[in-house]
Structure formats: structure tokens, C-alpha cells
């Protein structure tokens, strides 16, 4: 896996992530990626409803949110989270990437969209962009690829 320059907050603390996906496997895979970004797992949720309570409990810097989930889907969860926490940074991570879905997610307050299978470098760039946009991280970080 590619190794990345650690994304840290301005206070030098690791960026904290909330991962929301009904697949344990997908959560584990994303957790590995954020570890390679130098991030810290603030919490996990397997459905949209749990994501809302986990967001309030953990106050993460960024949320990686699936769309198709039981109980409550990701787009509805984004709407609730952003209503309650207008500064929330949510990146949608889904295998279903058609325009209607992306537009709906963005209209509800999501900041970006990544289609599965997730390429770590692409996710890193998007997370960096979203965090820099809000002035959470320093803007001069570059991707470094580990040579094999």
C-alpha cells in the first residue's frame, strides 16, 4: 500500500475519522487507509442512524459515509448530521456513483464523493482538500509513493 505524508491538524494532533459502512470488511479496509494517512479512528457505525449518535459522541474531523445501508441510508444520515452540526465534513464513499446520488448527497451537505473500489491516493487527496478548505490542516502536504 502507498504510504502518505501524515495529515495532521494545525494543533499537530492526528485527524480523527468516523467511518460509516454496513460492511465490516469495508470499515476495516478504510481504517487501514486512514492509518496510512496518519489518521486516527474516532468511531465506526454500521448504519445511518448509529452514525448520527456516533458523530455527536465523537465529534470527528471527517466522516467517510457509505450510501446503501440498512436502517437509514447515508444520504439521509448526512442531512441529519449537517442539520445538527453545520460544520460537519462528510465524504461519501459508495460503489453506486450515479449522478442523482451524488447530487442528492451534495445537496444534503456532503462535501465530496468517492466511488468504490477506493484508491487510497484518491481518497487521501479528497480528504486533504476538504480539510484544507476549512483550514484544519496545513496546505503544503504532498503525496509520497513508497517504491517497492
Partner 1 sequence: MRMDLIQPFIGSLDAVLAEMMQAPATIADLAMEENGYRKKGLAAVVTFTGQIEGRIILDMEPQAALRVAQCLTGGEVDSTEPIVREAVCELANMVIGNAVTQLNDRGFEFKVDPPSVLSEEQCEKAGHDSEATILRFETPSGHVHLNISMHYHARRARERAGVPAI
Residues at the contact surface with partner 1, assessed by CB under 8 A: 1, 22-26, 28-29, 32, 68-70, 94-100, 115-117, 119
What's the CA gap between 122 and 12, in Å, rounded?
A: 23
Smaller CB separation from partner 1, 97 or 139: 97
| Least gap, CB of 23 to partner 1 (angstroms) | 5
| Least gap, CB of 59 to partner 1 (angstroms) | 28
What's the CA gap between 73 and 35, in Å, rounded?
A: 26
What's the CA gap between 94 and 117, in Å, rounded?
A: 8
Smaller CB separation from partner 1, 19 or 82: 19
Omega of the bond leading into 117 within 30 degrees of 0 (cis): yes
The pair phi, psi for residue 44, each rounded to 5°, is: -135, 155
Smaller CB separation from partner 1, 5 or 22: 22
| Least gap, CB of 84 to partner 1 (angstroms) | 25
| Least gap, CB of 1 to partner 1 (angstroms) | 5
What's the CA gap between 18 and 33, in Å, rounded?
A: 13
Amino acid at each position: 500500500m502507498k504510504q502518505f505524508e501524515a495529515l495532521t491538524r494545525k494543533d499537530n494532533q492526528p485527524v480523527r475519522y468516523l467511518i460509516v459502512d454496513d460492511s465490516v470488511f469495508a470499515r476495516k479496509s478504510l481504517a487501514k487507509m486512514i492509518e496510512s494517512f496518519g489518521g486516527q479512528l474516532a468511531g465506526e457505525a454500521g448504519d445511518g442512524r448509529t452514525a448520527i449518535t456516533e458523530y455527536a459522541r465523537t465529534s470527528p474531523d471527517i466522516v467517510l459515509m457509505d450510501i446503501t445501508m440498512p436502517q437509514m441510508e447515508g444520504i439521509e444520515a448526512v442531512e441529519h448530521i449537517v442539520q445538527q452540526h453545520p460544520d460537519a465534513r462528510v465524504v461519501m464513499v459508495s460503489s453506486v456513483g450515479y449522478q442523482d446520488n451524488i447530487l442528492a448527497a451534495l445537496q444534503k451537505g456532503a462535501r465530496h464523493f468517492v466511488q468504490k473500489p477506493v484508491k487510497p491516493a484518491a481518497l487521501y487527496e479528497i480528504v486533504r482538500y476538504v480539510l484544507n478548505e476549512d483550514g484544519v490542516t496545513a496546505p503544503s502536504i504532498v503525496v509520497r509513493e513508497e517504491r517497492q
